[in-house]
Structure 1
């Protein structure tokens, strides 16, 4: 696979490996780019089909759910169908392998993601979700988790209609505790991040010796501030992204897809 990379990229991977090989505390943040390599659309991608006249930013809000819960619920059922058959790519698998090796060697490798899919888990990683999990649901009113995910996915049959007005409000599920509507367990625009997840991320970033940003533009706060927190506390910062954003705190920028870089990087770090 090294033959697919330019000499400059190979040198950057080797430099990154040299920095990482002896470190005991590593924090990794992944974003939409790593999931896009598995075929999951990003929020910046234009919506298609039934939803082509809607912006994701206008549906993923508490206000949108209050205004038209059936519309928002159905959109998330459509999104669930989009990711249902997606599988981890080589970057997910490399990270999972590296994390297992780190645990065996008494190293601390904390994996944080902004993504709401479960591709890291499918690959075998232990991961903290900052923006929620698309596979989970909770009550919009009392916040009680709703367990029957299979029932929720079945209700996506409503999307067989080609007319937004035909969306079946009966697809909505109500909470057995308070009769509030069940919603995806996702952090919407304007909502706070989960307290425990954010605390885990902050502590890992502040304490790490190396911080790696993979497939994220580092523009969405507060997650984008994690690399700055790491840098302020003495960590080196590596960014792996085909389209990196100008960032003066990054020590090594590897301008390539994570699926190509991560297996090579992890091989050089672990020797296997």
Structure 2
């Protein structure tokens, strides 16, 4: 069974009605990224940071997987599929995908400020004073700017084995996630689905660009791959 690796970004979740964090002006829901997405921001104003992610978590619980998420599940009938997502929502899992790596963490998990390995499920608000079993304040399980990406090596290892790479709804501007494209063989077919693709067909012979929204482009591609 061939290996398909799927790299997804904010574009696929936005079509479920989930707001992307970053606005056109670079602000995250009106906040400078340094205020709400860095360890320094958390130290300076933990209540602001916790409420920022509390709002994101509340919204996540009101939305549902879309046709793009569901189409990727159908691929598992014919291929060994691994999804590597930059998104912190659980929409891939809720749709039914079996193998999902979250490079940037997960909104529905929390972790201790004392140990990055003390991670647990968490669906309600995180408040100042909420502590882990060892008495330390907890924080969202989100990889902030300036922090290591713990699952990057796993993602690279999976990408290196790809027979097909599919990239969906990402600007290819956020590193190290964007660098994963460099770990597939030069002859590996790459499909890039985005209404405003950051990659052009002419860049590499093995790239096919589908300039569509995820909910339109992904089902079309999946149907063609299943029919092969």
Asked if these proteins are the same fold (TM beyond 0.5), I'd say yes
More moved, 260-269 vs 109-118: 260-269
Q: Deviations over 1:114-168 (max 9, x none)?
A: 0000000010002111111000000012235354624x33x6xxxxxxxxxxxxx
Q: How many pairs does the alignment contain?
A: 222
Q: Following TM superposition, by how much is the alpha carbon of 1:205 offset from its aligned partner in structure 2, in angstroms?
A: 1.4
Gaps of at least 5 residues in structure 1 are 1-22, 156-169
Match of 1:68 in 2: 45
Q: Find the counterpart in structure 1 of residue 101 from structure 2.
A: 128
Runs of 5+ unmatched residues, structure 2: none
Partner in structure 2 of residue 165 of structure 1:
none
TM-score normalised to the size of structure 1?
0.75
Larger radius of gyration: 1
Matched, 1:269 2:228: no
Name the structure 1 match of 2:82. 110
SS at 1:133's partner residue? strand
Shift of the 144–111 alpha-carbon distance from structure 1 to 2, 3 Å rule, reads closer
Counterpart in the other structure of 1:212? 166
| Equivalent-residue separation in structure 1 for 2:3 and 2:9 (angstroms) | 20
- Runs of 4+ in structure 1 deviating by more than 4 angstroms, as ranges, are none
Task: Show CA shifts across 1:233-258 (max 9, x none).
Answer: x3122100011114524611110011
Correspondence 1:1-272 to 2 at 5 A? 24-45=2-23, 53-99=30-76, 101-102=77-78, 107-126=79-98, 127-145=100-118, 147=120, 149-150=122-123, 152-153=124-125, 171-177=128-134, 179-194=135-150, 197-232=151-186, 234-246=187-199, 248-249=203-204, 251-271=207-227
Where is the helix percentage greater, Structure 1 or Structure 2?
Answer: 1
